[in-house]
Amino acid sequence: MRLRSAPLEDWLRDYYFTAEIDISSSGVHSYSMAELRALTGLRHADVDRLVFDDGYSLGAPEVRAAVARHVGGVEPDHVMTTSGSGEAISLVLSALLQAGDEVVVVEPGYHLLSEYATALGCRISTWWLDPERDWRPDLDELASLVTPRTRAIIVNFPQNPTGATLTETELHRLLAIADGVGAYVLWDGAFTDLTYDAPPLPSAPALYDRAVGFGTFSKAFGLPGLRFGWCVAPPALLTECVRIRDYTTLHVSPLVELMALGVLDNAQAFIRPRLEQAAAGRATLLEWAAAHPDLVSLAAPAGGVTAFPRLKGLGDTDEFCDELFQKRGVLVIPGSCFGHPQHVRVGFGGRAEQLTEGLDRLADALTQARR
């Protein structure tokens, strides 16, 4: 298996660490270790008692139980803890798919979901979200893409980069479409807890026995550096994941799981403040877009912390994004990283002052580019 380079990661590697103003991120403002300790009650003595033994292949039982409680409607024996959701996704795809399998993948989307299946030799059918529909998913189109040979439907809702999501009725229809052909549904739920116009969707694995759900601390929890994630899947599939993991990471660090347990037991203490901050950032972004209809076309994101506006008058945003960084110190992601070169990904989950200043500089750069 040979993976192609990931344009999004290539772009971030070149720009992320030296950006003066980052309005590109798909995460919320990160918590510090001091804040984690304060919110969880983790004490130095708790850490000092930790013994650095090997961990459980599927995760410590108490941590798996905490994940199950957070997800809702699933049992701990359906949970595997992982080093971020990326490990969970790659393990499940490797365990479930093989060359020649038919797979439907939503696009635009996170590169791992499509590229990993492609590298495994799967036959990919793309479920494109249409900007003319404000990126709203078309379930009729999905139904036209699946066949009795479809092995899996791979989605992420709320969506990165567009912020689009499903209604609960649409979720049930998606699962019914999969059930009609016996397909798995692989659901990247990184942004599940970040919704604005409706409550978070119920867990797909709680509703459908061939659904697999992925979660992470990297988005709503504000803890990307902790590298903690999970998957919820049928136990037999998790057994196959362990066979693969035996050749790679073996288990999650016991130190990470110690902190993760405290976070999961106090999940809303982490999520709620960042959701409120993101909601305010979303309002700022929508007000900015409404004030500049000559410069951008923006569909309001229903979830997540990213939006995917089209920059009017620009055929390709790569050069513009590079100049925006070099001359104005502002980082956004060119839409070419997601197959839509006239768009950019803007993140609104960070600090309010950075977002406001970054959007002002973006508007100035767009105005100058149109002259």
pLDDT tens string 264-303: 999 999 999 999 999 999 999 999 999 999 999 999 999 9
- Asked if residue 152 lies in contact with residue 96, where contact means CB atoms within 8 angstroms, the answer is yes
**CA–centroid distance for 64 within its chain:** 21
pLDDT tens string 175-220: 999 999 999 999 999 999 999 999 999 999 999 999 999 999 999 9
**Residue 319: is its pLDDT beyond 80?**
yes
**What pLDDT is attached to residue 370?**
77
Task: Tell me the pLDDT band of 1, cut-offs 50, 70 and 90.
Answer: confident
- Asked if residue 160 lies in contact with residue 306, where contact means CB atoms within 8 angstroms, the answer is yes
Q: What angle do CA 68, 158, 221 make, to 5 degrees?
A: 50
**What pLDDT is attached to residue 369?**
86
pLDDT tens string 18-65: 999 999 999 999 999 999 999 999 999 999 999 999 999 999 999 999
**What pLDDT is attached to residue 5?**
84
**What pLDDT is attached to residue 15?**
87
**Residue 340: is its pLDDT beyond 90?**
yes
Written as six digits, the tokens of 371 are 């002259």
- All structural domains of the chain, each given as residue ranges with its CATH number in brackets, are 7-32+269-369 (3.90.1150.10), 50-267 (3.40.640.10)
Task: Tell me the pLDDT band of 3, cut-offs 50, 70 and 90.
Answer: confident
Q: What is the mean pLDDT of residues 304-329?
A: 95
Q: Give the three-class secondary structure for 180.
A: helix
**What pLDDT is attached to residue 293?**
97
- Asked if residue 232 lies in contact with residue 64, where contact means CB atoms within 8 angstroms, the answer is no
Q: Does residue 254 have a cis bond before it (omega within 30 degrees)?
A: no
Strand partners, 151: none
Cβ of 342: how many Cβ atoms within 10 Å? 18
Global pTM value = 0.95
Task: Tell me the pLDDT band of 367, cut-offs 50, 70 and 90.
Answer: very high
**CA–centroid distance for 272 within its chain:** 18
**What pLDDT is attached to residue 35?**
98
**What pLDDT is attached to residue 4?**
83
pLDDT tens string 89-145: 999 999 999 999 999 999 999 999 999 999 999 999 999 999 999 999 999 999 999
Look at the block and give the residue holding tokens 């403002």: 29
Chain mean pLDDT for the chain: 97
**What pLDDT is attached to residue 38?**
98
